[in-house]
Amino acid sequence: MNDTSPTRAEREARLEGMGCSRRRTEDARFIQGKGNYVDDLKLPNMLFGDFVRSPYAHARIKKIDVSKAAALPGVKAVLTANELKPVKLDWMPTLAGDVQAVLAGDKVLFQNQEVAFVIAEDRYIAADAVELVEVEYEDLPVVIDPFKAMDANAPVLREDLKGKTEGAHGKRKHWNHIFNWEIGDQAAADAALNSAEVKIKELISYQRVHPSPLETCACVASMDKVRGELTVWGTFQAPHVVRTVAALLSGITEQKIHVIAPDIGGGFGNKVGVYPGYVCSIVGSIVLGVPIKWVEDRIENLTATAFARDYHMTTELAATKDGRITGLKVHVLADHGAFDACADPSKWPAGFFNIVTGSYDIPAAHVSVDGVYTNKAPGGVAYRCSFRVTEAAYCIERAIDVLAKKLKMDPAELRLKNLIRAEQFPYKSALGWEYDSGNYHVAMRKVMDAVGYPKLREEQRQKREAFKRGETRELMGIGVAFFTEIVGAGPTKNCDILGIGMFDSCEIRVHPTGAVIARLGTKSQGQGHETTYGQIIATELGIPADSINIEEGNTDTAPYGLGTYGSRSTPVSGAATAVAARKIKAKAQKIAAHLLEVAEGDLEWDIDGFRVKGLPERTKSMKEIAWAAYNNVPPGMEHGLEAVNYYDPPNMTFPFGAYICVCDVDADTGYTKIRRFYALDDCGTRINPMIIEGQVHGGLTEAFGIAMGQEINYDETGNVVTGTFMDYFLPTAVETPVWETDFTVTPSPHHPIGAKGVGESPNVGGVPAFSNAVNDAFGHLDIGHIQMPHDGWRTWMAAKQAGLHK
């Protein structure tokens, strides 16, 4: 008789665990229009809030008259700073240690700052009432240029800080100065530069950009006055943190606050912080005793919620004549806008910018960062990156190309000469980080071989000759980038939010039938958490992924967690999930030994259960063990099969990648065509290759948008001139290039499953690859560094500067 029992491979395939390109479980509801977003929420007696916003970037508020608005039928209340002051809610703390005005009282500091909050029966009445609020302003001088913020004659922006010489991060040296942060060995870096055979110095600016999630920020606050309980639904990337902040601000005890993040249509860092709309909705609901909904429009999102970047990096590199880098020195001028509301949970005001040594073995380095106030919207979020890592990667990768040009050396070969070698890991950088693992040279060589790098350079040489002869008006550029990201925020020694350590959590319960529910402290905004966490558990516990449910975003049910941003979900929560599953597996082994009447040490794990060593026919599956956990456990053991883990990682993780971009620039129009883009990523252990592929495609598309056109731009009086998608570049399928992807696998030695994270990496590596390609197109001409974004106008101007226009 034939044995019909499944083979080992069939049992493993049935789990759909780690390494399987399993279809996303969450997609079933999204593609059928069954997602549950904040604006879908409809509660009895719900009212709607809308803001009166300042048309000025800097102005004193002389008078606010709300009488006409309050008299409009359907308007229930109009809040101003005067209503918030008695309950001390006119200002709120920021994640960076500053305070931010909830509603402007004495003066406004950026265009579209919140001045009053109208609450009405529907959003149309609220919008009409906003137009009826009369605000008398006295126009004040504006500071838009961060390089002029600390001029002797610059106006005082933050009058609430006037006279304060100390800030949250040390001494302030000007009334518009926020902090200075230094790290590294300045003497060693100066010595390397002073003795360098070759050195470069370049101002490398990373323009102000915006994450622009598909769904704007929104919340619904509902105060139950009978029970004294507040429930808030919102677009929160970190629901537990919002609950803690709400408790601190409102005085309501934390156990009586319920924060729920339903489906979120994209976050990219934009939904980490707390916005005035959240606070005003909560206050309105407490005062009126009914639910209040606030949903911002696209212009509000682009102009008033948190921006990213706006880093201006003066970069110096020292090297030998043969291309060995000996030192790095960077000074950053960081524009934080009107308030330091940087969504940065690290213990440093410039986040992880000290990863600026990149993937290179640089023996001496020093970084100094000065933060300043300007009349722009506040923020500083990790737009699809860890905290200031994208700025750091762009800085070093552009500087490497500038150095390669000065050395007349191929930029790929210069990188190969300076990359950290495999035998140097774990590698301690000159700025203090311990890189966990990597094989950089293998990755770089693999990409160069895949694209036929020498042939591309020969083609470029021939095209340049043809251009000189007038046979073509196209310039060919080849952009090389090699990046190391730092993710997994992370270790409590490095990161916290309002004093709360940056651990994360997972609670797993195995039911009697072998089905599983797992609850986590993170919150997906499209990353596929429901799929990947389930796959980790499937592999660890031998239970099929389709028998596992994942829940996030509800502070009533999930263990306390610090949320999802900076590619921390897999490095931190994925680890918590694996460790919680291993706790369950350890108990399951005791139960299996009891059932099989052997010692624990006589058992070994076999895909989906335990078997007796040497007697493979004697087994107990996890499904059988789960049933026994509720009726037949060893004497003295508690019934049930569940565990919780709070994971505080011992170190960050360091994914890396090698990217090559090939572009063609039309010298007469400035139009740039991306002919080819090849991206190799190493994120350690790969949980779901299909989801990784999707994450890389999405991140590269955002990198393309940033490098080739995105910028939040202001005129000299502080008016935002890129406040709609007509003016702010958001790539569609028409403009987006075709992506070629590849990978190597270098597991993290300290992570329970060796995973490093990948969601942010393509944005980190993609931006310098695009910029290097455009700059390389002009590389044979007498023209310096071309600043981003590389839209048609700027690229045309670069061609004009190079003398290419007749």
Which positions are catalytic? 237, 384-385, 760
User: Can you tell me which residue has the tokens 């290039």?
Assistant: 737
Comparing CA positions, the residue from 309, 232, 307, 306 lying closest to residue 275 is: 306
Contact assessment for residue 657 and residue 765, using Cβ atoms and an 8 Å cutoff: yes
Give the tokens for residue 238.
Answer: 């970190």
Cα 312–chain centre separation: 20
CA angle, corner 667, sides to 662 and 672, nearest 5?
A: 35
Contact assessment for residue 285 and residue 221, using Cβ atoms and an 8 Å cutoff: yes
DSSP secondary-structure letter at 397? H
Contact assessment for residue 593 and residue 600, using Cβ atoms and an 8 Å cutoff: yes
Sequence-distant (≥ 6) Cβ neighbours of residue 359 within 8 angstroms: 415, 419, 420, 438, 440, 482, 483, 484, 656
| Torsion over CA: 307, 308, 310, 311 (sign) | positive
How far is residue 114's CA from residue 559's CA, in Å, rounded to a whole number?
Answer: 34
How far is residue 440's CA from residue 545's CA, in Å, rounded to a whole number?
Answer: 34
Q: Where are the alpha helices (DSSP H) in 98-162?
A: 123-132
Cα distances (Å, whole numbers) of residue 365 to 317, 392, 419, 484, 765: 9, 13, 16, 17, 21
Give the tokens for residue 654.
Answer: 């360091």
Strand pairing partners for 487? Answer: 653
Task: Sort 416 into a burial class: Cβ within 10 Å, 0-12 / 13-18 / 19+.
Answer: middle
Largest CA distance in the chain: 95
Of the chain, the end-to-end C-alpha distance in Å amounts to 86
CA angle, corner 388, sides to 316 and 403, nearest 5?
A: 25
Strand pairing partners for 51? Answer: 117
How far is residue 754's CA from residue 105's CA, in Å, rounded to a whole number?
Answer: 51
How far is residue 71's CA from residue 134's CA, in Å, rounded to a whole number?
Answer: 13
Strand pairing partners for 643? Answer: 508
Cα distances (Å, whole numbers) of residue 569 to 25, 605, 649: 17, 27, 12
Question: Half-sphere exposure of 456 toward its Cβ, with a 13 Å CA cutoff?
Answer: 26
How far is residue 588's CA from residue 308's CA, in Å, rounded to a whole number?
Answer: 47
Strand 642-647 to 656-666 pairing:
unpaired
